[in-house]
Amino acid sequence: MSELPYPRHAPLSRRRLLHMATGASAALLGSQLSRSALAGGASRMLLDSRLTLFVDASMPDDSADGLTWMTAKRTVGAAYRLAANGYDLQGFGVTIRLSPGTASDPKVYESFVTTQGCVGQAGFGSVVITGDAPNSPNVVIDGGGGDAIQLGAGTAGGPQLTVTSLTIRSPNASGVVAYGNGTGATVSQVAFDGDFAGAHIKCAHGAEIGAQGLILIKGNSVLSHVLAETNGRFVADNHVTLAFENASGTKWTLAGWCCTNASMYLGGMTFINKERATGLRWMALQSGLVLTGNGPGFLPGTIEGTASSGAQYS
């Protein structure tokens, strides 16, 4: 007696796969959210644990729910807006994961700009935007004609997030930029690739940016590698390593550029290929403050820095 052939089924359509994935997303949603609440005039889900959202540049659009790789958003901005508008963070946080390509064919994501913070009844929850590995070349956020990542509020309650494990390009502007009181970012294990028309990192008008881990500089910047102005604050005083690859920027740091009370705290930094950085070590103007605790030759560069109009370096 011959065996019956194994039943064959037609391949599942993309619509069916999406439907199945959406069902899985709903199950995941139910496990992470306990109830809903009104906040800001709209209903938002209350988190009872950290939430992960998924972004894949190869998706056709942002219409999917972002809760699995199969239903990923296409842009970082869409995932962030979902976190800010769809969820009450309750003091928990959100991780936004970006799908990687390869080193030779990375997935490139468009720039991300927001003025909105992610809040909750129990206060802020942390938001992390992450690639797949430290300093990964497989995930790229490209500023195109503007800043790659721009956070700005001007009032308390601005965006607060960590950017990690990816590469940033911004040929026509700056890399990571934060403006305004209550706005801040942490840059961790990030590579800045290619030449930048602005600064790699810029903070101004009361915003603060911190650095952690290994930061790769793989090109030049017209303004400076790090720029703080108008009460901006940059902090890299806890085991931060800056590695220069083919970099010959015109300046290393610029604190208080034609503005007042900007500050930098750089005492915990170490450097790799320091000799590849050329130009001014630092410049401080109009009460700008650069603190290293390591003497005038500590920062990379070939020209000694300058301070004027009440600015200080130490």
| 133: helix, strand or coil | coil
Instruction: Give me the residue spans of the domains in the chain.
Output: 35-225+237-250
Tokens coding 177:
């930029």
Q: What is the pLDDT of residues 16-61, one digit of tens each?
A: 444 444 444 544 444 444 444 444 455 778 888 899 999 999 999 9
Is residue 231 within 8 A of residue 256, CB to CB? The reply is: no
Distance between CA atoms of residues 54 and 95, nearest Å = 8
Is residue 172 within 8 A of residue 145, CB to CB? The reply is: yes
DSSP per-residue letters across 90-104: TT--EEEEE----SS
Q: What is the pLDDT of residues 75-126, one digit of tens each?
A: 999 999 999 888 888 888 899 999 999 999 999 999 999 988 876 666 667 8
Q: What is the pLDDT of residues 235-262, one digit of tens each?
A: 997 789 999 887 666 666 665 564 678 9
